[in-house]
Amino acid sequence: MKPLDAGCLTLRLLTETDWPLFLELHRYEQVLQYVADPLSDQQIRQRFEERLRPWQAGDLHWLSLVVVEKQSGAATGISGFHCLESDIDAPLTAEVGYLFLPEFFGKGYATLALKACLDYGAKLGMKQWQAVVTEGNLGSGRVLEKCGFSLIERQHNGYQIGGKFFADLIYTKTT
């Protein structure tokens, strides 16, 4: 897959050389506060290995793309998606996700990266999109809304982080 153009950003496939970025993203409390409890280095490495697998439309594992600033060449985070079902005869539905380093919060990078992912997915036949956001993660909710997602469901006590229960906010978009 050739890199995706997202204005001031480029999205390219995750490679083995991106391990330091992946590890850093999964160690920052500020990044994980609405995502998950901290993981061991072994668990993080396992997730990383899963995301290195070759990907094609319809795969249930993640297509993981590193988001890079064009001007500086700095890796800012990771964005991507995975299919939620593998029925070729049905419209493909995919879940989107993204993690960014704290120094790149608030710059609009998540919105640009998500739009590039949605455009790429549409070319591959993705028709429906979903995102799950932990209640309180206002930034992610705004990113999704800017990209045309709508909040359709709130699942009370849907997820636990740090021993505290949060509602899962389910967003969808149809293309």
Q: Classify domain 4-174 by CATH number.
A: 3.40.630.30
Distance of CA 157 to the CA centre of its chain: 22
What pLDDT was estimated at residue 90? Answer: 63
pLDDT at 32: 86
Residue 33 has pLDDT above 90, yes or no: no
Which of 171, 89, 97 shows the shortest CA–CA distance to 125? Answer: 89
Predicted local distance difference test score (pLDDT) of residue 175 = 84
- pLDDT for the residue numbered 89: 62
pTM: 0.93
pLDDT at residue 167, rounded to an integer: 93
- Starting at the earlier edge strand, list the strands of the sheet with 9-13: 4-6, 9-13, 63-69, 75-83, 92-100, 126-134, 164-174, 150-161
Position 91 scores a pLDDT of 60
pLDDT digits (tens, 9 = 90+) for 41-99: 999 999 999 999 999 888 899 999 999 999 999 999 999 999 987 666 666 899 999 99
pLDDT digits (tens, 9 = 90+) for 83-134: 987 666 666 899 999 999 999 999 999 999 999 999 999 999 899 999 999 9
Mean pLDDT computed over 131-151: 96
Residue with tokens 């997730």: 47
